Structure formats: structure tokens, C-alpha cells
């Protein structure tokens, strides 16, 4: 097996133009396949456990959290995956190019603070 070790990859045409080929024919854009922001946080204490491209975490009320991004999307075009240890978690707002909102609810559909919250988002950065 061969191994390549590099610190920087730059596309030949543009910085975001790197294609990965898997097998004989399957190809994918490296940039498109990467999560642009992710966060694991404790909603009860409103503290971030670990994150990538997160500028801040805002406790916006009982069971309402906003993850603000350092580097924004080109518009409100992110595809967000949200989950928590609560009964259910939703993205209840339209969000913005720099903000993703997570709301957590109990089985009675009332907002509830949850200690285990997760956000992963893919999209095109500005």
C-alpha cells in the first residue's frame, strides 16, 4: 500500500477543485464531502464539548440553542443533521448563513434542556 503525507492540498484549477477517485470509476469532490461545521455540546450547561468552525453557542431559551459559525455558508444552503438525547430534536427556524438552530423537546412536546446535543452540517462555504 502507498502512503502520501502532505500538509496542504491545492486543486489544479482552484483551491476547491480536488476530486477523490475510489475504485475504478467512483469519484467525489473532496470539499463537498466534508462537514463544514459540527458541534457536540451540553445544552443543560450551555457549554461546548468539542466543535469545528463554531464561533459560539447561544442558549436562546429552554431547549433552544444556536450554533454560530466562524466561516459562513454562501447563503442559507446548509444541510443540517441535528440530534440529542431528548425525545426529539428539530431545526425549527430557517436559520441564516452563519447560524444553525437546534430545539429539543420532551415526549409531551414541551421544550426541554438536554445535556447531549449534536449538530453536523454540510454545504458550500462563502
Per-residue pLDDT of the chain (126 residues; tens, 9 = 90+): 788 888 887 877 776 677 777 777 777 777 777 899 999 999 999 999 999 999 999 999 999 999 999 999 887 778 888 899 888 888 877 678 899 999 999 999 999 999 999 999 998 888
SS (H, E, C) 41-103: EECCCCEEEEEECEEEEEEEECCEEEEEECCCECCCCCEEEEEECCCEEECCCCCCCCEEEEE
What's the predicted TM-score (pTM) here? 0.80
Residue 125, classed as helix, strand or coil, is strand
Helix (H) or strand (E) holding 121: strand 117-122
* Cα of 93 vs its chain's centroid, Å: 15
Amino acid at each position: 500500500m502507498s502512503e502520501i503525507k502532505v500538509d496542504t492540498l491545492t486543486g489544479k484549477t482552484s483551491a476547491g477543485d480536488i476530486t477523490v477517485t475510489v475504485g475504478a470509476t467512483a469519484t467525489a469532490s473532496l470539499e463537498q464531502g466534508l462537514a463544514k461545521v459540527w458541534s457536540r455540546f451540553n445544552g443543560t450547561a450551555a457549554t461546548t464539548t468539542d466543535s469545528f468552525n463554531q464561533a459560539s453557542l447561544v442558549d436562546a431559551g429552554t431547549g433552544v440553542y444556536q450554533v454560530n459559525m466562524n466561516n459562513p455558508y454562501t447563503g442559507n444552503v446548509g444541510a443540517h443533521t441535528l440530534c440529542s438525547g431528548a425525545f426529539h430534536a428539530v431545526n425549527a427556524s430557517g436559520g441564516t448563513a452563519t447560524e444553525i438552530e437546534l430545539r429539543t423537546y420532551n415526549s409531551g412536546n414541551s421544550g426541554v434542556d438536554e445535556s447531549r446535543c449534536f449538530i453536523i452540517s454540510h454545504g458550500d462555504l462563502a
